[in-house]
Amino acid sequence: MPPHIVSTLNRPGSRQFGPYSELSVVPIPSVDPTVYLLQTAGQVGGPPPAAAAAAEGGPFPTSFREQAVNAFANVAAVLALKGATPRDVTKITIFVPNLDTAKRDLLPGVITDFLLRGGSRTGHDEQTVHQPPSSLIGVAALASPEFLIEVEASAVVAAPGSRQG
């Protein structure tokens, strides 16, 4: 049997809703990799673990905007587990129950803020917005009724010591 090449990571203090990991990491190529393909689990709009700990288990945000900001902050934090930033994102998928135009129209600003936080390792202007493909999918429900948004991201990051970085 060939060795497993996929590894998984979780943030310390993150709430787990089942037997899954927050980030899968695939080395490419599998031996002496030059890049890693990263896939996040769906990140919801609860406060990031550090903020949640500070709030001592306070209530889950009820505003769609606050949950959207938190979900993207959670994506950034999960990507950072392998040294990736929003600039490394290759695809974003957003799931929203009861999608309407107000929610749809609010998301571009939140997404732009997330992508601008990514900075640049390639010499581009910090204010140049990286524009990875994205999908916005209206769904009937998410895993819990309190979840108003869920965001997944794929990214590629250079392996340490590779000539890509």
pLDDT for 165:
45
1 belongs to a structural domain: no
pLDDT for 78:
96
CA contacts within 13 A on the Cβ side of 60: 14
Residues listed for the chain: 165
Q: What three-state secondary structure class fits 82? A: coil
Residue 50 structure tokens? 């550090």
pLDDT for 122:
47
Torsion of CA 145, 91, 135, 45, to 10 degrees: 20
| Domain span including residue 137 | 7-158
pLDDT for 94:
98
Residue 159 structure tokens? 């392996």
pLDDT for 123:
46
Q: Count helices and strands (H / E) in the chain.
A: 3, 7
Q: What three-state secondary structure class fits 30? A: coil
92 belongs to a structural domain: yes
Q: Which residue ranges of the chain lie beneath pLDDT 70?
A: 1, 15-17, 50-58, 118-127, 163-165
Residue 62: give its domain's CATH number: 3.30.1330.40
- Counted domains in the chain: 1
CA contacts within 13 A on the Cβ side of 16: 11
66 belongs to a structural domain: yes
Q: How many other CB atoms are found less than 10 A from the CB of residue 49?
A: 15
148 belongs to a structural domain: yes
128 belongs to a structural domain: yes
Cα gap 134→91, rounded to integer Å: 6
pLDDT for 82:
95
21 belongs to a structural domain: yes
Question: Among candidates 21, 25, 66, which has minimal Cα distance to 46?
Answer: 66
136 belongs to a structural domain: yes
Cα gap 20→106, rounded to integer Å: 30
164 belongs to a structural domain: no
pLDDT for 152:
98
